[in-house]
Structure 1
Amino acid sequence: MQFQIRGTPIGPMSLIVAVLASMGGFLFGYDTGQISGIQEMDDFVRRFATEFDPNNSTPARDFKVFNDWLIGLIVSLLSVGTAVGCLIGAPLSDRIGRRWAMFWETIIFDIGVIIQVTSFQAWYQVAIGRFITGIGVGALSAAVPLYQSETVPRQIRGALVATYQLFITLGILVAYCINIGTRSLDNSGSWRIPVALGIAFSTILGVGILFCPESPRWLMANDRADEAYRAVAIVRGTKPSDSNPWVEAEYAEIVSNVEADRKVKAGSWRDCFRPQHKVLYRTLLGITLQAGQQLTGANYFFYYGTSIFTSVGLSDPYVTQIILGAVNFGCTFLGLYVLERFGRRLPLIFGAAWMVVWLLVFGLAGTVGDSTEKSFGTLMIVAACLFIVGYASTWAPGIWLFCGESFPRLTRAKQAAIATLSNWVWNFLIAFFTTPITDSIQFKYGFVFASANFLNFFVAYFFVYETADLTLEAIDEMYNDPACKPWTSRSWVPAGFTSRKDMVQNKDVDVDSDVVKVPDSKAGQWRSKPDPITGEETDTTRKAPETKVEGA
C-alpha cells in the first residue's frame, strides 16, 4: 500500500515512524506543561513549599508559599536532566540503534515518574524525579529527529520530522487539560495523576517503536544490508522483492555514502569542531539556533503561564493556559505547511521578526498600562497568542528540523547532541531564573526576549542555508560548495540539475542505470543491478564526491 506525494510514492509506515517517534517530543511537552499548573495546586504547595506567608489567607495551603529560587529549581531540574540525557543519547543510538535507544530511554523516563509520584513531603524527591525524567527526555530529543530524518523519504522529510515539535505542543496542551481536570481534587491526586499518566504515554513510544523499521543509514553502516534495503522499501510502501525503482534509487545513494564513510574513521566528539568541510560552522550554528529557540521566550509562557496570568487578575488562568496551548498546537500544523512550502530559511527570518513585534506589545502593555485592568490583561493575552502563532509555525519546528538534516553522517548524532545540549542549557537558565527576574522587572522581561529575537533574525539571514528538497547527502555537498552562500542557497542544486523540483521528482538518479546496487541474499554482500537487456552485472558503482567525506 502506498500513496503519491509530490510525484513520489510514500508508504503509510513513513507516517507511523514520524508520529510514533514523535511521542518523545510529547513526553517533553507533557512534562513542561504539567509543572506550570501543578506548582499552583493547593496540595502540592502544602506538601512541598518551605516558607510561610502571613499575607496568604488560603487555609488549604497553611499559609505556605514557594521560595522563588526553590520553585525555579524544581521546574528547571528537568532541563538539567535533559542536558545530560542528550549527551548520552548520541553514543547510545550509534551503538545499539535508534529504535532500541528510544526504548531504553522511555524506561529511564518511567523511573523518574515513579520517583515523583511516590513523594510525600520532600521537595527534593520531586526535583530528583524531574531530573531523571529529564535524562530520558533529553536522550530522546537526540535520537528522535535523527531517526526520523534518516528514515523517512526526503520529499516529506520536512513535514514529518517537524512532527516532533508538533507533539511537543500536543503534550503541553494535553497536560494543561489534565491539570484543569484534576485541580479541584482536595488530595494529592490533583498532582499525582497528571505526573503518573506520563508512564502510559511513554509506553506507547517504548513498545510501539520496536515494530518500526530501523534507520536504513544506521543499518547500512553496521553491515546489515538486507535489512537496510527492506527498511527503505517499507517506508516507500513496497515489498523488498518488488525491486521498486524509487527504493533502489534512494538505497543506492545510501550505499555510496556509507562506502565512502568507511574509508575514514568514525567521527569523534573532537571531529565535530573541525573547520574542514564546514563541520565546525554547522556545529556552532546548531548551538546558536537551539539557544535562539529557547531565547524566543516561548517557555516563559509555557513554564510560568498560570502564574503570569494570575498576576494580571484573571479569574481562571488555567483556562488561559489551555487557550495558549491550543494556539501553540494548532499553529504547529501551520508550521508543517510553511516549512514544506517556503523552505527552512525564510520562515526563520520572518518568524523572528514577527515575534519581536508581539513581545514588544506584550511588554509595553504590562509595563505602561495597568496589567490588572481587564483591557490590558486581554491585550497581553492576545499579544501572547500572536507571539505563539509565530513561534509555533517557524522557530519551534524549524530548529529541530535543522538538527535532523544539516549535519554530515559521520558526526550527525554527536553534532545533534551538542546542539540539543545548548537548547537544554538555555531551557534550564530560563526556567531557573524567570521567577526572580520577573519579581524584579515584571513584564519588562518581554523586552529581553524581543531583543533576543532581533538577534535571531540576523543569525537566520546571514548564516542559515536552505536545505528543503535536498537529500541528506546533497545537503552536505551544498555546505562544501564554496560558491554557495546562505543568501544564495535557495537556488543551489547539485551539478547537472536545473532546479530542486527535478530532484523532488527523483530525476537526480537514473533509476534504470546499471550503477544502482542492490543487496545480495547474503547480508553484507553486494551485487550491481543487472543490465535490463543483457542481464549481465557490472562492476560500475556510484561513488560519493570527495567533499562528502568528513574528517579526511
Structure 2
Amino acid sequence: MFNFKVHGQPLGLVTIFIAALSSVGGMVFGYDIGMISDMLLMRDFLERFSDIQEGCDANGMNCETYEFSRVREGLIVGLLSIGTFGGALLGAPLADFLGRRWAMTIECIVVSIGFLVQITTFEVWQQFAVGRLIAGLGVGALSAAVPMYMSECVVASFRGTAVACYQLAITFGMLLAYCFCYGTRQLDSDASWRIIVGLGYALTFTLGFQVESPRWLMKNDRTDDARNALERIRGIKTDYDRAVVEHDYREIETNINMERENDAPFWQSWIECFVGSPGSKKLAYRTFLGMMMQSLQQLTGANYFFYYGATIFQSVGIEDSYITQIIMGVVNFVCVFFSLYVLEHYGRRRPLYIGGLWQIVSESNCILLTAIKIWLLIFASVGVCRPPSEYEGMGDLMIVSACLFIASYATTWGPACWIVTGETFPTRTRARQASLATASNWTWNFLISFFSPFITGDIGFAYGYIFAGCNLFASVFVFFFLYETAGLSLENVDIMYSTKGLTAWASEKWVPPGYNSRRDVMEANKMDIYGNPENIEHSDNVDHSDKRFESDENSQASGHREYTSKKESA
C-alpha cells in the first residue's frame, strides 16, 4: 500500500485523496462566487434581467444602455449568501445525523438543483436569484462540512496543508469561472451565460466517494469501522505505522468517552456553544472566536473584488475588465500555494496577524497616506485623490494595488480561517460550532455583496478605507485572542484551550505534557514512549481531572522528567 511519512506519522494515499477530492467542495464555492461578477456585464444577461434600459427602439428592444439598479444587482449577487447562511446552520445537524460523507453528497445535489433553476431561467430575474439561493444552501453546508471533515481525517502534521487545499480549490474555482466567462463573453446569445452555469455541474458529483470520518464513526459506536477507516486513511504498511494508528485510535476513543460524560440533548448542545459547559473548557470562547475569525475574513474586503471586480475595473477605464479579473484570479490561485508552506511552517497566528498588516508598500500618491501604508489604502487613495478618469495610468496602479492585496489575502487570511474553523472546536460540538462560524462568514458575505453597490455609489473608492481599518483590527484581534493550533492533534487542541492561565500570545510555546516540542508530538518519539507495537501504552492513561490541565512549571517539569525516563528505558 502506498505510504510515506510526515514528521514520523504515516500518510497514506487515501489521505491525499481526501485532501484533493474534498477540496472540490471549495471549487463549487469559488465557481459560484466567480461567475456572477462577469455575468453581470454580459449583453444577453443584461437584456433579459436588467431594469434600467435607455435608448431603446419602439418595441423596447436594442437599447443603447442596460444597467442594473442597486437593489436588483445586490439581490442577484447577494441571495447566494442568504442561502449559504441557512445551509451553514443546517449543515451541522445533517453532518451529525447522516455522517460527514453522506451529508456532503446531499449538499452537492442541492447545489445542482440550484444550477438547474438558474439555467432554465428565461425572463424572470427573480427565478435566477432564487436559483442562486438554492445553490447557496448547498454551498453553505459544504463550507461548514468540508473543512471539518478534512480536519477530522488527516494527521496533525498534514492538517494545515490539507485544509488549505480547500481554499486553493476555492481560488481555482473562481479562476475557472473567470476563464470560462472570458471564453463565452463574445457569444451574442443566452449561451454566453447558460454555458457558464451549466459547467458548474461537472464539480458537483465527486464527494460521495470519500471515506467516512473515523471520529464520527467512533462517536456513533461503529468502533470497528472507525479503526478500519483510520487504517485506510493512514495507509498502514509496517508495525510502526500500526502502532501509531493504534495510539491515535485510543486517543480519539478516550476523548469521545470524556465528551459523552457531559453529553446533552440536541437543543441544549446548541445553547452550550454560547454559554459554555463544565465538561468543555472555553467552549463559548471558542464559539465566538470562530465566528469572529470568519467575519473578519469577509471584512478584509476580498469579496468586494471577487463579486464586483469586473464592474469596478470597467468603471476606472480598463478596456477589458474580463482580463483584469483573470489576472486577479491567477494571483489569488498561485499565492495559495505559497500559503501551504507558510501555514505549516509558521503556524496560524503569525501569518494571520502579520497578513492583516502585510499589504504594506513604501510609496503612495496621496498625502493621506502617512502612517500605515497598505495596499487597500493605496487603492482607495488613488481612487479618491487621483481619479483614473482624470489622471492617466492611475487605473493600472489601482489594479496593481488590488492584486497585491489579493496576494496577501490568499497567502494568509483566505486559507487560514478555514484551518482555524476545522481544528479549534471539540468533537462533541464541532459540527455546531463550525456551522455557527461559517454562518457568520456568510452573513458578512451577504452584507458586503448586497450593500456594496449602495456604498460605492455614495462614497466611491473611499470604501477601501473601511476595509483597511478592518484589517488593522483583525491583526490586533488575532494577536490577543487566537491560540496556536499548528502541530497538535485535535484532542491536544482541546487540552491547550483548557489549560489554566495560558494566554493566546503565549500559546505558540505550549506543548502537551511529556514532550519537549510540538515536533516531538508528531515524530517517532511516540514509539519511544509507547514501546513495542504489541504492547502499546495508552497516552491518555493519566488523570483527566482539572489537574491535568494545570500549566504551572512544576507540572510541565514533571511531565518532561517522565518523558525522559521512558525514553532512556526504551
Q: TM (normalized to structure 1)?
A: 0.91
* Distance apart, 1:252 and its partner CA: 1.5
Alignment-mate amino acid for residue 263 of structure 2: K
* Distance apart, 1:251 and its partner CA: 1.2
1:152 aligns with 2:154: yes
Contact 2:247 2:538 in 1 (8 A): no
Aligned match for 2:295, one of 291, 307, 315: 291
1:23 aligns with 2:40: no
**Structure 1 residues 61 and 509: CA distance shift in structure 2, 3 A:** farther
**Structure 1 residues 198 and 547: CA distance shift in structure 2, 3 A:** farther
Alignment-mate amino acid for residue 410 of structure 1: R
Aligned pairs for 1:163-242 (under 5 A) are 163-203=165-205, 205=206, 209-238=207-236
Aligned pairs for 1:418-429 (under 5 A) are 418-429=436-447
1:324 aligns with 2:328: yes
**How many Å separate the matches in 1 of 2:23 and 2:112?**
17
Match of residue 429 from structure 2: 411
* Distance apart, 1:540 and its partner CA: 11
**How many Å separate the matches in 2 of 1:34 and 1:101?**
25
* Distance apart, 1:75 and its partner CA: 0.2
* Distance apart, 1:409 and its partner CA: 1.1
**How many Å separate the matches in 2 of 1:540 and 1:53?**
73
**How many Å separate the matches in 2 of 1:501 and 1:540?**
17
**How many Å separate the matches in 1 of 2:539 and 2:506?**
35
Percent identity, please.
48
**Structure 1 residues 242 and 357: CA distance shift in structure 2, 3 A:** closer
**Structure 1 residues 135 and 543: CA distance shift in structure 2, 3 A:** farther
**Structure 1 residues 318 and 292: CA distance shift in structure 2, 3 A:** same
3-state SS, counterpart of residue 244 of structure 1: helix
Contact 1:497 1:508 in 2 (8 A): no
Aligned pairs for 1:7-46 (under 5 A) are 7-46=8-47
Match of residue 415 from structure 2: 397
**How many Å separate the matches in 2 of 1:46 and 1:8?**
58
**How many Å separate the matches in 1 of 2:64 and 2:217?**
58
**Structure 1 residues 50 and 221: CA distance shift in structure 2, 3 A:** same
* Distance apart, 1:530 and its partner CA: 5.7
* Distance apart, 1:260 and its partner CA: 1.7
Moved more, 395-404 or 365-374: 365-374
Number of residue pairs the alignment of both structures matches: 526
3-state SS, counterpart of residue 238 of structure 1: coil
Contact 1:106 1:202 in 2 (8 A): yes
**How many Å separate the matches in 2 of 1:238 and 1:288?**
39
**Structure 1 residues 38 and 221: CA distance shift in structure 2, 3 A:** same
Aligned pairs for 1:468-483 (under 5 A) are 468-483=486-501
**How many Å separate the matches in 1 of 2:539 and 2:395?**
69
Contact 2:49 2:124 in 1 (8 A): yes
**Structure 1 residues 37 and 288: CA distance shift in structure 2, 3 A:** same
- In structure 2, list runs of 5 or more residues that go unmatched: 360-372, 550-570
Contact 2:80 2:132 in 1 (8 A): yes
Match of residue 514 from structure 2: 496
Contact 1:162 1:397 in 2 (8 A): yes
**Structure 1 residues 549 and 141: CA distance shift in structure 2, 3 A:** farther
**Structure 1 residues 243 and 28: CA distance shift in structure 2, 3 A:** closer
Match of residue 251 from structure 1: 249
3-state SS, counterpart of residue 383 of structure 1: helix
* Distance apart, 1:214 and its partner CA: 0.6
Alignment-mate amino acid for residue 52 of structure 1: Q
Moved more, 321-330 or 5-14: 5-14
**How many Å separate the matches in 2 of 1:508 and 1:237?**
18
**Structure 1 residues 186 and 259: CA distance shift in structure 2, 3 A:** same
Match of residue 525 from structure 1: none
Contact 2:7 2:519 in 1 (8 A): no
Q: TM (normalized to structure 2)?
A: 0.88
**How many Å separate the matches in 1 of 2:48 and 2:547?**
57
**Structure 1 residues 547 and 146: CA distance shift in structure 2, 3 A:** farther
Could you report, residue by residue, the CA deviation over 1:435-469 in whole angstroms, capped at 9, with x for unpaired residues? 11111111101101001111101101110111000
Alignment-mate amino acid for residue 176 of structure 1: Y
Contact 1:42 1:61 in 2 (8 A): no
**Structure 1 residues 531 and 394: CA distance shift in structure 2, 3 A:** closer
Match of residue 466 from structure 1: 484
* Distance apart, 1:192 and its partner CA: 0.4
3-state SS, counterpart of residue 92 of structure 1: helix
Match of residue 557 from structure 2: none
**How many Å separate the matches in 2 of 1:377 and 1:423?**
30
Match of residue 443 from structure 1: 461
Could you report, residue by residue, the CA deviation over 1:309-344 in whole angstroms, capped at 9, with x for unpaired residues? 001111100000000000000001111111001000
Aligned match for 1:361, one of 372, 378, 385: 378
**How many Å separate the matches in 1 of 2:18 and 2:539?**
34
**How many Å separate the matches in 1 of 2:540 and 2:477?**
40
Alignment-mate amino acid for residue 253 of structure 1: E
**How many Å separate the matches in 2 of 1:259 and 1:132?**
38
**How many Å separate the matches in 2 of 1:370 and 1:224?**
64
**How many Å separate the matches in 2 of 1:440 and 1:540?**
60
- In structure 1, list runs of 5 or more residues that go unmatched: 515-528, 533-537
* Distance apart, 1:548 and its partner CA: 12
Match of residue 86 from structure 1: 88
Match of residue 544 from structure 2: 545
**Structure 1 residues 462 and 540: CA distance shift in structure 2, 3 A:** closer
Contact 1:286 1:403 in 2 (8 A): yes
**How many Å separate the matches in 2 of 1:542 and 1:338?**
35
Contact 2:53 2:63 in 1 (8 A): no
CA RMSD of aligned residues (A): 2.4
**Structure 1 residues 262 and 377: CA distance shift in structure 2, 3 A:** same
Alignment-mate amino acid for residue 45 of structure 1: L
Match of residue 116 from structure 2: 114
Match of residue 163 from structure 2: 161
